[in-house]
Structure 1
Amino acid sequence: MNQNWQGTLVRRLLLLLGACLLLGLVTGEYAWMLVLGLGGYLGWTFHQLRRLQHWLQRKDADQPPPDAAGVWGEVFDNLYQLQRRDLRLRGQLQAVIDRVQGSTAALKDAVIMLDSDGNLEWWNIAADRLLGLKKPQDIGHPITNLVRHPRFKDYFEGDQYDEPLELPAPVNDRLRLQITITRYGNSERLLVVRDVTRVHQLEQMRKDFVANVSHELRTPLTVIAGYLETLLDNPEQINPRLLRALQQMNQQTDRMQHLINDLLLLAKLEASNRPTDNQPIAVAPLLQSITSDARALSGSHAHRISLDADAALWLKGSEAELRSAFSNLVFNAVKYTPGGGDIHIRWWSNEAGAHLSVEDSGLGIEPKHLPRLTERFYRVDSSRASNTGGTGLGLAIVKHVLLRHQGRLDINSSPGKGSTFTCHFPTSQIAQR
């Protein structure tokens, strides 16, 4: 519509009024002529509006607009141009959507789109195979009603999606799935489900191999250690040239036994997700016992070890597993803190749950090592670990014990400023006395 349509409309109204006044001059009925003229103009305008309404309500989007002259012709033409442009944009958008859906349909991983309430909106073909979803009857249903595994429900409602979740497939227990959730848009969620059965089988084979080898090595090491102890009970009867060799053999045998014990403990921890003896534990006396052992381990190094524990704060879990995890943290602080250094152990609670921190004034750890500290056999300084007799499995044991107790481990450290290892437990793990 051009910019002079308002002037054209005004001129036509003035011409209509002039014609009505002229007829009124001839007939002497000015009022009636004005009423008839304006009424006719309104009727014509109403007729054009009805034509516009019928054209907008048509089913055929390609039907051209009705013919009209003047202002209404320009209105029809402009609306038609806007409609054609909208159709082109919708076609382009639909082509992009079809292309995205076609590419995701070809993926081996399942892709599921959920609305802000967790209801199913769209999914690809792989979701039918891995999760057993069916179209169209499952559209609009909550995902938690279709994937009923308790761990998935806790993971979905927990809103903590930093780490993926692994669980058996709903359609086949032999399949192992890895589920990742990402938030996007207006609180919508995108689920990506991957079949990790092969990776899980390889991991299980590795665990079985380590456990079996550890069991097989335990018996010969016990025999060797027994004979070495017998020989070393009477060192005066041993050739001095052989005494040092036997002592080193005994030392390395002890180290191998510690390594095998740690490997067997890890295999036991990985065998299940929850401790079997889940009982209320008085953590304060447990920490007092570990602190006494730490002072004995410190010996002549004279570390200043302090304990601040809430005696009324109890925890649900396995006392043996918690002792193993807590003692690993405390003994590591003793081993890697120079003589005369400070070690502070604290056990407290707040609105987020229960917490245990072990803070030392030791050598500290560079930031690049922190993400890998809980990996098996990972050592920041292999020579230092060898001197202190570590197996490289202590923090891996701590990590698995915390996972079995729904906890997590935070590590803060700076070179030359010491380290702080903090265990966090949710409020659900706090036990009543």
Structure 2
Amino acid sequence: MDEGMWITDANGVVLRHNEALRAILGTDQELVGQRPLFLLRRTELHDAVLRACREGVTSKVEVSMDAPRNKTLEVHIAPLGGSLPGSAAVFRDVTERKRLERVRQDFVANVSHELRTPIAAILGYAETLRSGALSDARHAPQMVEIIHRQSERLGELVEDLLELSRLDAGERPLSPAPVSLGEVARQASEAMEPRAAGKRLSLQLRIPTDLTARADPKALEQVLLNLLDNAIKYTPEGGTVELIGERVGDRAQLSVRDTGLGIEAKHLPRLFERFYRVDRGRSREQGGTGLGLSIVRHLVHGMEGEVRVASQLGVGSTFTVVLPVG
């Protein structure tokens, strides 16, 4: 039984309980003969038990337990009923449910925020054009270009959200098999070459021709495209982006190394979180959705691999994908 239970007398003193309650409370102390206030140090639970005993009131209380237990409990309290004095309480550990609720709320808030900016720009410039600026030969093309760019950004955001949804739901099954890392890397590199050339970046590919790994080729290409896109985005003109492959023991590594802005150490542990941005203003200016690295992590884990990052502010960053050798 996952639910903890106790029964109290008319004064709120515990008369009996099940063993699941000890596990939920994280204690091995004697519970019989104790009062709720002594056991959990929460007046709201103590008061609810007394109301059930003395007034016959049924209630639900949420109890937060401090460190080191750090749990959230949902407790349903009711009078015993009939001629029996006292109360009964059922305890449920809702810590994980509360965490998921917070994740969902944060996700919805972030999505709303990310959608609001491009939509506001599109509506603002469209309204300006409707109000007469369409005939302004100097400024109208700039407004149309902004509307087009922000529409593309909306499309990218929606596509990334759908991709994450498919990955979360297990609707994108991956099929790892032995693949040539050089071939997949070459395809990704060729796709990003025009963007690199547009910033006068040197995009270099250094991978042994015989290096293989167990991977889903389409998923791996998407991982490399996302990493190369980030590297190009945040590397100043005239810099270098390298895609390097090597074998280390029974693992194959693909690293995307850049001479970009670098990232402060305090940000590294959170880089792969959804919508986490090192610099929100800079990221939006560059056109990122804030979801690319989260997709990378999902895909790499789905191929039984791991992704690492190392960075030095003002020097550059290296993102490394580690996969089983094919």
**Counterpart of 2:22?**
106
The alpha-carbon distance between structure 1 residues 302 and 243, as it changes in their structure 2 partners (threshold 3 A), is closer
Which of 135, 145, 149 is the matching residue for 1:239? Answer: 135
Partner SS for 2:23: coil
Counterpart AA for 2:222: S
The alpha-carbon distance between structure 1 residues 247 and 276, as it changes in their structure 2 partners (threshold 3 A), is same
**Counterpart of 1:309?**
207
Give 1:202 shift: 3.7
Which of 92, 97, 114 is the matching residue for 1:198? Answer: 97
The alpha-carbon distance between structure 1 residues 239 and 366, as it changes in their structure 2 partners (threshold 3 A), is same
Give 1:296 shift: 0.9
Give 1:320 shift: 2.0
Which of 413, 417, 430 is the matching residue for 2:311? Answer: 413
2:306–2:321 Cα contact (<8 Å) kept: yes
1:109–1:195 Cα contact (<8 Å) kept: no
Counterpart AA for 1:370: L
**Counterpart of 1:326?**
224
2:176–2:216 Cα contact (<8 Å) kept: yes
The alpha-carbon distance between structure 1 residues 385 and 203, as it changes in their structure 2 partners (threshold 3 A), is same
CA distance in 1, matches of 2:104, 2:284: 29
1:374–1:396 Cα contact (<8 Å) kept: yes
CA distance in 1, matches of 2:219, 2:102: 23
Q: Does 1:344 align with 2:205?
A: no
CA distance in 2, matches of 1:201, 1:346: 38
Which of 175, 181, 184 is the matching residue for 1:277? Answer: 175
CA distance in 2, matches of 1:204, 1:260: 19
Higher relative contact order (CA 8 A, sep 6+): 2
Which of 234, 257, 272 is the matching residue for 1:374? Answer: 272
Partner SS for 2:301: helix
Partner SS for 1:377: coil
Which of 188, 194, 197 is the matching residue for 1:296? Answer: 194
2:166–2:172 Cα contact (<8 Å) kept: no
Partner SS for 1:277: coil
The alpha-carbon distance between structure 1 residues 203 and 285, as it changes in their structure 2 partners (threshold 3 A), is farther
**Counterpart of 2:38?**
none
Deviation track 1:100-138 (CA, whole Å, cap 9, x = no partner) reads xxx997231789xxxxxxxxxxx99xxxxxxxxxxxxxx
| Alignment gaps of 5+ in structure 2 | 1-18, 30-92
Give 1:200 shift: 7.4
Residue identity over aligned pairs, in percent, reads 32
Counterpart AA for 1:106: R
Which of 276, 282, 290 is the matching residue for 1:392? Answer: 290
Counterpart AA for 1:336: Y
Pairwise CA RMSD: 3.6
Counterpart AA for 2:22: A
CA distance in 2, matches of 1:110, 1:424: 38
The alpha-carbon distance between structure 1 residues 208 and 272, as it changes in their structure 2 partners (threshold 3 A), is farther
CA distance in 1, matches of 2:256, 2:279: 20
Partner SS for 1:108: helix
Deviation track 1:62-103 (CA, whole Å, cap 9, x = no partner) reads xxxxxxxxxxxxxxxxxxxxxxxxxxxxxxxxxxxxxxxxx9
1:274–1:405 Cα contact (<8 Å) kept: no
Counterpart AA for 2:135: N
Give 1:293 shift: 2.5
2:196–2:202 Cα contact (<8 Å) kept: no
Deviation track 1:34-77 (CA, whole Å, cap 9, x = no partner) reads xxxxxxxxxxxxxxxxxxxxxxxxxxxxxxxxxxxxxxxxxxxx
The alpha-carbon distance between structure 1 residues 250 and 318, as it changes in their structure 2 partners (threshold 3 A), is same
Counterpart AA for 1:371: P
Counterpart AA for 1:198: R
Give 1:385 shift: 1.2
CA distance in 2, matches of 1:104, 1:256: 49
- Counting only pairs closer than 5 Å after superposition, residues 30-69 of structure 1 correspond to structure 2 as none
Which of 159, 164, 188 is the matching residue for 1:261? Answer: 159
Give 1:198 shift: 2.0
Counterpart AA for 1:401: L
- The structure that has the greater radius of gyration is 1
CA distance in 1, matches of 2:172, 2:151: 33
| Alignment gaps of 5+ in structure 1 | 1-102, 112-122, 125-193, 232-237
Aligned residues: 227
Give 1:309 shift: 1.1
Give 1:204 shift: 9.1
Give 1:206 shift: 6.7
TM-score, normalised by the number of residues in structure 1: 0.46
Which 4+ stretches in 1 moved above 6 angstroms? 203-210
CA distance in 2, matches of 1:414, 1:372: 16
TM-score, normalised by the number of residues in structure 2: 0.60
Q: Does 1:361 align with 2:259?
A: yes
2:174–2:219 Cα contact (<8 Å) kept: no
Partner SS for 1:106: helix
Higher strand share: 2
The alpha-carbon distance between structure 1 residues 109 and 308, as it changes in their structure 2 partners (threshold 3 A), is farther
The alpha-carbon distance between structure 1 residues 199 and 313, as it changes in their structure 2 partners (threshold 3 A), is farther
The alpha-carbon distance between structure 1 residues 293 and 196, as it changes in their structure 2 partners (threshold 3 A), is same
The alpha-carbon distance between structure 1 residues 403 and 110, as it changes in their structure 2 partners (threshold 3 A), is farther
Counterpart AA for 1:387: E
Give 1:357 shift: 0.9
